[in-house]
Structure 1
Amino acid sequence: MLALDAAGLELRPWRVHDAAAMVAAGQDPAIRRWNRFVVDSPTEARRRIERMRERWLSEQSALWAIAPTGAGEPVGLIGWSDIDLAEGSAEVLYWILPAGRGRGVAVEATRRLSRWGFDDLGLHRLRLCHSTANEASCRVAAKAGFAVEGTMRSALLHEDGWHDQHLHALVQGDI
């Protein structure tokens, strides 16, 4: 578990009993708009949580629930995908449920996870990508210290079509 400075929250592994939060996220219009994330049932959510464990063990990705310290429903997800331990890089991804929005949770979780990756895992470079139309994610990246490196044209297919994406990065020594 990784404690967050935000009042009473921690990063912890996803648990099977978190399936309801996963389903809620898969149905949330804002999460679906900006993420290729659809979960329609508790069974599908439990399968996804199990795949998270498998991908963690194979060092492909590492995803945490952002949840009240000790117990409680997750208010978000944060983690790394496309992990390359040999090259010291990963991509940061996150989503926040309505109960966690507007409190700086995404920024604090991104900062905490980045510090841990640099200080404890020895990562060198983290990247964060988002649709250029997603102003909230752009603010999260900037507040967490990620510099804008450029725009990737037509880089990700969303429900409403192809989106350009901003590429932000944070490298060892930036924080």
Structure 2
Amino acid sequence: MGVVTTTGGGQPVLSGGRVRLRPWRAEDVPAVLDACQDPEIQRWTQVPVPYGPADAEAFVSVVAPRTWAEGGALFAVVRIDDDALVGSMGLFPPADGVGELGYWTAPGHRGQGLTVEALRVLADWSLGVVGVHRVELLVDPANTASRSVAARAGFVAEGTIRQRFRHRGRPADVVLHARLAGDTPDG
């Protein structure tokens, strides 16, 4: 697992080799707003469409702190060298020892392995420090980039769950990817 630092019982900061997962800050709002204009983020995630300044502000100042208060954690994924926003990644409040993870990656940071690294760090923290025995990702079957990230981060595709949730008002299938506490990513 990467380096974990905490401040006074608050949400920790998780570090890998090139990325840091840290709590969201007010100064992140413009970068979130910019990233969430991306058609791919809007296509594959549940961000509001259109995505406006109030949505970015609410995500950073309301949704992220509320998720932490409810037992999950939403992190800003940033590059260690310059604190540039790579994306968002989170553990939704676990139930029955299982945690669901989710993420998006800003367009300028795709294809560099940064999201794979961040996902490994978050999964390790969730399985180790948080203490869940299983972490899951629910990915649209057509989202080949995200499915590749999951596989490269050590998640196993276990199968398709038909019409698991509604996306933009329509039933949507997902591929369930999971990693167990005893699993190790291949590298």
TM-score relative to the length of structure 1 = 0.88
Report the CA distance shift for 1:74/1:140 in structure 2 as closer, same or farther (over 3 A): same
Structure 2 distance, partners of 1:80, 1:122, is 12
Name the SS for the 2:158 alignment partner: strand
- RMSD after superposition: 1.8
What is the Cα deviation at residue 106 of structure 1?
Answer: 1.4
Task: Give the counterpart letter for 1:56 in structure 2.
Answer: W
In the alignment, is the contact (CA less than 8 A) between 1:132 and 1:163 conserved in 2?
Answer: no
> Gaps spanning 5+ residues in structure 1: where?
none
Task: Give the counterpart letter for 1:13 in structure 2.
Answer: P
What is the Cα deviation at residue 2 of structure 1?
Answer: 1.4
> Gaps spanning 5+ residues in structure 2: where?
1-12
Partner residue of 1:153 out of 162, 181, 185: 162
Aligned residue runs from structure 1 range 115-134, under 5 A = 115-134=124-143
What is the Cα deviation at residue 70 of structure 1?
Answer: 7.0
Partner residue of 2:85 out of 59, 69, 74: 74
In the alignment, is the contact (CA less than 8 A) between 1:33 and 1:158 conserved in 2?
Answer: no
Aligned residue runs from structure 1 range 49-68, under 5 A = 49-51=60-62, 52-59=64-71, 61-68=72-79
Partner of 1:25: 35
Structure 1 stretches of at least 4 aligned residues deviating more than 4 Å after TM superposition: none
1:5 aligns with 2:17: yes
Report sequence identity in percent: 37
TM-score relative to the length of structure 2 = 0.83
